Amino acid sequence: MDYAQIIKELKDKKYASVYFLEGEEPYFMDQISHFILEHVLSEEEKGFNQSILYGKDLSIDAIMTAAKRFPMMAERQVVVIREAQNIRNIEDLATYVENPMRSTILVVNYKYKTIDKRKKLYKTLQKNGIYLESKSLYESNIPNWITNYLKEKNLGIDPRAAQMITDFVGSDLQRIVNELEKVTISMVPGTSILPEDVEKNIGISKDFNMFELQKALGNKDILKSNLIVNYFIDNEKQNPLPAILGMLVGFFRKILIYHSIEIKSDRNNMAQKLGVNPYFINDYISAGRNFTLDKAINIISMMRDYDLRSKGGRGGTTENGDLLRELTFKILHI
């Protein structure tokens, strides 16, 4: 089951006896655990029938003892294990999963790790429980995730605004949600988040951000590129050079993909292959015209060299701001 299926079944009050949630992305695990804690039991039932235990110094025997208790004046009890990745011999939980208490909902949060799928616990979970491997999303998928997240709240978002947030936050979903709450708290249902809203409430400039720099470089707009670069240099803490280089490498790699696409008349197919919103296709068409395949390859190689120089490699002592200006000049005049 994936996250959406699990939440749907929970909303339909179709409960499993065991939920084993693991992986690199904690957001989905936290949301499932929170839903179960909030909605399965009534407020009156929670006092005697809801337990939250923490993995450090917690044994499998202690978990089994808690899970095998009978509920008091309720149909079921809920036992949530947090930080289960700290439990020794987690594989021994298979003994309980083989024959779980039907009146208990056991939720195990095994964050930042995964169990061995060749062993008994994983195989037993497939038969008698719900298993979720919560994987981190690729950054290229984040704008679409933001759009879908807001859609559930009857809100929209301009593709530029979604990309601004992605460039600013990265793929940390909980942090993205926290930033979105700053914007949505005063929004009317049915309306959409615009770049101006992101600038006002999150503090990301709608004119001076990574998305706008990529667009300016792709268009070979010398003035705008340098204005943005100067803004980044003046605000270096919010715009560190390693992050800028990483995103620019990603941008020029997409230009490489653009050149590999044989049929360029199907914009949706191009967007899918590039991993971008169709709204931005014109930007990549323009960049593809301005940067040939060979030029894009040379620029990526060049950026790796500047990354090394920024870390003191090759005897580099140049300030990061000067490195960024120099790199921008070379990209625009290659």
At residue 110, the 3 state secondary structure works out as strand
Q: pLDDT class for 85, splitting at 50, 70, 90?
A: very high
Mean pLDDT calculated for residue range 131-140:
92
Question: With a threshold of 0.85, does the pTM exceed it?
Answer: no
Residue 295's CB: how many other CB atoms inside 10 A?
14
Q: Which residues pair with 111 in a beta bridge?
A: 23
Provide CB contacts within 8 A for 289, sequence distance 6+. Answer: none
Q: pLDDT class for 312, splitting at 50, 70, 90?
A: confident
- What pLDDT does residue 56 have? 87
| Residue type (1 letter), 278 | P
Domains with residue ranges and CATH for the chain: 3-133 (3.40.50.300), 139-202 (1.10.8.60), 210-333 (1.20.272.10)
* Residue-wise pLDDT tens digits, 137-184: 988 899 999 999 999 999 999 999 999 999 999 899 999 999 999 999
Q: pLDDT class for 314, splitting at 50, 70, 90?
A: low
Q: Is the pLDDT of residue 303 over 80?
A: yes
Higher pLDDT, 98 or 264: 98
- What pLDDT does residue 80 have? 98
Q: pLDDT class for 318, splitting at 50, 70, 90?
A: confident
Q: pLDDT class for 1, splitting at 50, 70, 90?
A: confident
Q: pLDDT class for 34, splitting at 50, 70, 90?
A: very high
Q: Residue-wise over 220-252: b if at least 16 C-beta within 10 A, else e? A: bbeebbebbbebbbeeeeebebeebbbbbeebb
- What pLDDT does residue 238 have? 87
* Residue-wise pLDDT tens digits, 102-116: 999 999 999 999 999
- What pLDDT does residue 209 have? 93
* Residue-wise pLDDT tens digits, 255-297: 999 999 988 888 889 999 998 999 999 999 999 999 999 999 9
- What pLDDT does residue 315 have? 59
| Residue type (1 letter), 9 | E
- What pLDDT does residue 263 have? 85
Residues composing the chain = 334
* Residue-wise pLDDT tens digits, 217-232: 999 999 999 999 999 9
Instruction: Kindly compute the dihedral angle of the four CA atoms of residues 112, 117, 123, 126, in this order, to the nearest 10 degrees.
Output: 50
Averaged confidence pLDDT in the chain: 94
| Residue type (1 letter), 198 | V
Q: pLDDT class for 316, splitting at 50, 70, 90?
A: low
At residue 222, the 3 state secondary structure works out as helix
The answer to whether residues 299 and 287 touch, using CB atoms and an 8 Å cutoff, is no
Q: Give the distance from CA 176 to its chain's centroid.
A: 8
- What pLDDT does residue 172 have? 93
- What pLDDT does residue 264 have? 86
Quickly list DSSP for 248-271: HHHHHHHHHHHHH-S--S-HHHHH
Rounded percentage of the chain residues whose pLDDT exceeds 90: 86
